[in-house]
Structure 1
Amino acid sequence: MYIIPAIDILDKKVVRLREGDYEQVTQYEVTLEEMIEKYQSQGTQYIHVIDLNGAKSDFTNQEYLFNIIRKTDMKVQYGGGVRSIEKVQELIDAGIHRVIVGTQAITNPDFLPQLSKAICGSSKCSDRVVVAIDVLDEVIKYSGWMESSPIKLMDYVDKCLNLGFFRFLCTDINKDGKLGGAGIELYEKLLDHSPFIKLIASGGVSSMKDVEELSKIKVESCVVGKAIYEGKISIEEIKNWNLQSLISI
């Protein structure tokens, strides 16, 4: 299992939100460039970047983000306001390694089938596209976690699998931004339902013990953000874990 450091950007600042609430923002005195440089110098291969402005259909951050991303050799997993096939292709063309899709995939029943045809013709869906599933008490939430989907969680997973999407970024909203531990129970249910999915766990990771617990249930990787900024997990610990993971593959 691989640890993917997360960087959330709001108004070109590195921040974290509590439970996705834009009114509960913690801003950190570090730039995106500085964070990427730290991770890259420690040998990290992947990084998770979320444009929180883009999530609100405000793309004023995008040029700033792209200029920085183009300068790095790191593989960037990117999300925030990706609501069209054209936007997915634009991001891939800009050098984004994996594009995260969320709200549009849930609200527009034609989006994933169209995306599957457009993207999977040249490569596997799961290699370039990550389907985000934000879950609160097994209910799928979208639009910044303000709306609830009537689609049952496992039915949605099955729909994605049937279209060729196998990699999921699952956020347990109950855990996000609280440093209270990962949503092990939720991830176990998903993996019990579909053991072969490539699951990226997100939310609540507060220590290397949480990372170890996620590794035991065979998630592919986990996203860690606030725990790094709050000094709960060090970049050195991430480096050592990821190196060991690569050796074990």
Structure 2
Amino acid sequence: MIIPSIDLMFNSIVRLYQGNYQCIRKYNLEPLYYIKYYIGKRSNIIHLVDLTGAKTPLKRQVRLISNIVSKCKSITLQVGGGIRNSSDIYGLLKLGTSRIVIGSIAIKEPRVVQEWLTIYGPERIVLALDICNGSNGSYSIYINGWQSSSNNTIENVLNHYSCYGIKHILCTDISRDGTFIGVNLRLYKYLLYGWPKLSFQSSGGVKSLNDIIKLRYIGIKNIIVGRAFIENRIAFMEAIECWQNV
């Protein structure tokens, strides 16, 4: 499935370069209008990221997210950024959000997220892992809006949460995100081989329809595309047709 991604900051659609808040590109697009465009094109899922909340949880764009969710209940919305407690999750789910994306807290406070999986169920929680290739060929997990590296490995995290019923994993190669240098096939082949029962969402580096073909071919079931759609480098409907015809 092709999942359009929309990053939100200053109540506007933006993109960061490799997660760097000093390299922000703001687009002259009204978020709700743009989201309704995807809905009109029969998108099944849209991925929303509150970048303000991801950086400063106390400044989450609650009003904007609430407005979007309340007016787009006909589609599956997965929302992330600044989710730090059960009240955040409950509030978004009550509005009609289908899935909540959990990132740094899953690494720093695993017991809390284990409880959320029990309370809300694995269909409601998406575990977001931000990955960068290590110098020895391993994969390092970054946290706090990609600002720092954790001491955990992707293997430990996936094995741990698999025991608690996790299903949806959003895996971003942060070295490629927003760069148009192509996707990290090696990473996703590794994930698919090691944890075949999990549903992975690939993210980072999509530059052409050929990237979609490659990911589809190796077995990825969900591909998140952000900047390539926003800047019209790939037409949304062309991506959908490409996905369906591979």
Query: Given the two structures, how large is their TM-score scaled by the length of structure 2?
Result: 0.93
Q: 1:132 aligns with which of 103, 128, 133?
A: 128
Partner of 1:176: helix, strand, or coil?
Answer: coil
Aligned to 2:24: 25
User: In the alignment, does 2:181 pair up with 1:180?
Assistant: yes
Query: Is the CA contact 1:3–1:241 (under 8 Å) kept in the aligned structure 2?
Result: no
Residue ranges of structure 2 left out of the alignment (5+ in a row): 134-138
Query: Is the CA contact 1:154–1:190 (under 8 Å) kept in the aligned structure 2?
Result: no
How far apart, in 1, do the equivalents of 2:227 and 2:82 lie? 22
How far apart, in 2, do the equivalents of 1:113 and 1:97 lie? 19
Pairwise CA distance, 1:62: 1.3
Query: Is the CA contact 2:117–2:125 (under 8 Å) kept in the aligned structure 1?
Result: no
Aligned to 1:238: 239
Partner of 2:71: helix, strand, or coil?
Answer: coil
Partner of 1:53: helix, strand, or coil?
Answer: helix
Partner of 1:83: helix, strand, or coil?
Answer: coil
Aligned to 1:149: 150
Pairwise CA distance, 1:147: 1.7
User: In the alignment, does 2:57 pair up with 1:57?
Assistant: yes
Deviations 1:145-179 (A, max 9, x none): 11211111111101111011021000001111101
C-alpha change, 1:239 and 1:34, in structure 2 (3 Å) is farther
Pairwise CA distance, 1:86: 2.3
Partner of 1:33: helix, strand, or coil?
Answer: helix
Query: Is the CA contact 2:132–2:175 (under 8 Å) kept in the aligned structure 1?
Result: yes
- Which contiguous aligned blocks of 4+ residues in structure 1 show a shift greater than 6 angstroms? none
Q: What root-mean-square deviation, in Å, do the aligned CA atoms of Structure 1 and Structure 2 show?
A: 1.5
Aligned to 2:116: 115
Aligned to 1:100: 101
Query: Given the two structures, how large is their TM-score scaled by the length of structure 1?
Result: 0.91
Aligned to 1:67: 67
Aligned to 2:38: 39
Residue ranges of structure 1 left out of the alignment (5+ in a row): none
Aligned to 2:159: 158
Pairwise CA distance, 1:220: 1.7
How far apart, in 2, do the equivalents of 1:152 and 1:18 lie? 24
Structure scoring higher RCO (CA < 8 A, sep ≥ 6) equals 1
C-alpha change, 1:44 and 1:109, in structure 2 (3 Å) is closer
Aligned to 1:225: 226
Deviations 1:85-132 (A, max 9, x none): 221222111111110001111011312221122213xxxx1x111000
Aligned to 1:4: 3
Report the residue type matching 2:208 in the other structure: S
Query: Is the CA contact 2:41–2:237 (under 8 Å) kept in the aligned structure 1?
Result: yes
Pairwise CA distance, 1:58: 3.8
How far apart, in 1, do the equivalents of 2:60 and 2:192 lie? 37
Pairwise CA distance, 1:183: 1.4
Partner of 1:9: helix, strand, or coil?
Answer: strand
Pairwise CA distance, 1:239: 4.1
Query: Is the CA contact 1:84–1:104 (under 8 Å) kept in the aligned structure 2?
Result: no
Aligned positions, number: 239
Partner of 1:78: helix, strand, or coil?
Answer: strand
Counting aligned pairs with the same residue, the percent is: 30
Report the residue type matching 1:180 in the other structure: I
